[in-house]
Amino acid sequence: MLVAPLWRNSRRSERPDTAFRASSPKAVTLARMGWAALYLCSGAMVHSREFLRHYEDEAVHLDPDRFDSFVCGGFRPHCGKMICKQSPEHAWAIPRGRLTDRQEKTPVKTVLDQLRDMTVVVADSGDVTAVKRYQPIDCTTNPSLVLVALSDPASEEMIVAEIEAGRKAGLSAPALTDTLTVAVGARLSGLVPGRVSTEVDARLSFDTDASVARARAILADYAERGVVRERILIKLASTWEGIRAAEILQDEGTDCNLTLLFSMAQAVACADAGAYLISPFVGRITDWYKKAEGVDGYDSLQDPGVNSVRKIYDYYKANGIATVVMGASFRNTGQIKALAGCDNLTISPKLLDELSSEVADLPRALRPGQAHAEPHKPITEAQFRWDMNVDAMATEKLAEGIRDFDADHHKLTQIIAERF
């Protein structure tokens, strides 16, 4: 890669195509910070794959006409300069017509690209257009996301066909709501190479037998559409009853995604049940603590939602628990970056877009080999209920989440009834 300078040294201008060590005070400062200080001076080129860190108070004095491209997150051309708008970022540029056979142009890696190298990225969306754009491995759906899918032009033809088929079959609006949810999942299964999570009705969260029956019906509907159970994850709320339903389904060979998870007690119970995957809700945990503590936000190292997932991840990895940890419900990209390296992360289209447009180093935050935690001890129902009782945040957010999903399910049914 050819690296453009953040400043010039005219004394070197007679030596083009040469790499130099910087001697200015700024360069020395950067070198002491562990960064290579390489620069281009009046036509000289630097051969390096090192990135040069740039700060807000420094302008890049480069003539845009002399360069093929500027590739720098947070920069914009202005009066023949590149001005930094956010700090810190990486910046480099390619001089016009100065490539040689010895030089290699290294592809730019966005934060999203780097995240994919260490974490399975899941689309937290039922929006066909978004899934096609970001090409995640898996997709997750719930009543709230299916509601959004109803307004997606790419899904309109499928929705109209499902409603017409339901009308001919004499289905009620609630029954059609169930089949439409599976139809959305089946459509998504054709767009991703991995799995699609489909949620059991929230109103069944405290009924183990009914949850198992509904899960089996979902799988049967998928099978009729040509989607095998190995492509599906059944989503269940992480109540004691939901976890017991997951245990039954896992024994039958159906993998489950335990959602609305806010505490270590829930995580331990899910591990005991052999759940395939859990979804701790980062953002909702943070929301509760922000309100309780009267703060506007947290540093990533102090974020309660982020730390909850880190604790669960370490507990699982240190104890050899195979259950996949999938962080969910993110409020900003900072929370996502702080969990880079987690098994899976399910991310909304808005945050996927932000990550895909940012060019910066993404250090790995979680590593299985570095996990340390107390030894695993199975949890009893009595202990589970007591631990949830004393954890106000977990109790309140679990109940709120179940109510909200149920409200969205009713809203979805009402919209379908009106169209029906």
- Going by C-alpha positions, the residue among 93, 242, 174 that lies closest to residue 410 is 174
Q: Please check whether residue 20 is in contact with residue 38, taking contact to mean a CB–CB distance below 8 angstroms.
A: yes
Whether 235 is a known active-site residue: answer: yes
Distance CA 118, CA 44 (A): 37
Please give the angle made by the CA atoms of 246, 209 and 175, to the nearest 5 degrees.
100
Report H helices in 135-207: 143-149, 156-168, 173-189
Question: What are the two backbone dihedrals, phi and then psi, of residue 213, each rounded to the nearest 5 degrees?
Answer: -65, -45
Distance CA 165, CA 162 (A): 5
Q: Catalytic residue, from 26, 235, 290, 311: name it.
A: 235
- Going by C-alpha positions, the residue among 217, 198, 216 that lies closest to residue 149 is 198
Distance CA 365, CA 347 (A): 17
Bridge-based pairing of strands 81-84 and 75-78 is antiparallel
Cis peptide before 88 (omega within 30 of 0): yes
Distance CA 183, CA 6 (A): 54
Question: What are the two backbone dihedrals, phi and then psi, of residue 352, each rounded to the nearest 5 degrees?
Answer: -60, -40
Torsion on CA atoms 240, 241, 245, 251, rounded to nearest 10: 40
Please give the angle made by the CA atoms of 62, 66 and 72, to the nearest 5 degrees.
55
- Going by C-alpha positions, the residue among 411, 414, 403, 390 that lies closest to residue 237 is 403
Q: Helix, strand, coil proportions of the chain in percent (round to 5)?
A: 45, 15, 40
Per-residue tokens: 60: 């890049």
- For residue 330, the SS3 value is coil
Residues 6+ apart with CB under 8 A from 226: 186
The DSSP code for 144 is H
Distance CA 320, CA 43 (A): 56
Distance CA 261, CA 409 (A): 20
Q: Which residues are catalytic?
A: 235
